Structure 1
Amino acid sequence: MKTANFFVLRETKMPAVLVEYGFMDDPGLEEAAHMVDPKVQKAFAVTTAKGVCEYFGVKYVPDSPDKPKPMYKVTVDGKEIFDTAYVEKIVGVVKLAIGRAEEIVIKKRQ
């Protein structure tokens, strides 16, 4: 842990901390490789959240893994447009495609 006279910390009107999880200029790029790993990013986020909770004296509540939502593949005129779990996004595409009389295929992923 280091301290310094950083503007972002000095000029804020609330408790503040500057966190660096690694450096992209690491000569071996080992830190850079870790920073793009989603599991490492999640670990950083959880650790940071726990620290913030500890500072403010509140209980850390871990995420509960939600049941995965079904994914849908949306195809318009034979071209895959996107995958989504959000029905409202599908509805928007369907409305646009119907207005242009295009073939729409929505398949639920297994």
Structure 2
Amino acid sequence: AHPESPFEVCQKSDYIGSTEYIINTIASAGKDTRWLVATELNLVNRLHEQFKHEGKNIHFMSPNVCMCSTMFRIDPQHMAWVLENLVDGHVVNQVSVPIDVAEQARRALDRMLEVSP
């Protein structure tokens, strides 16, 4: 399960980790294994396609598909649009959060970067 999954899902999961962790765990698993994955649907579908030739059976965990609409916007075209706007001095899609939330998020990011290779 991705750590952003509901707590109850994480409690019952065999593995909990980042998107990269999920990908690497499934990639290194043996052939003919079965996976029920709690993360964004498009990633699960990509993993299913990528590993089906190895007999890895990968399925989306939630019976109710709740698409992450913002994940669909992370593509080269939207990235180029954001960067072009920044070059022109325009900030688009800026997210603002309270200072205490920003500080906690910064600590979490710093911790992730500390353990990154």
**Per the shorter chain, which TM-score range?**
under 0.3
TM-score normalized by structure 2?
Answer: 0.22
Greater fraction of residues in strand: 1
TM-score normalized by structure 1?
Answer: 0.23
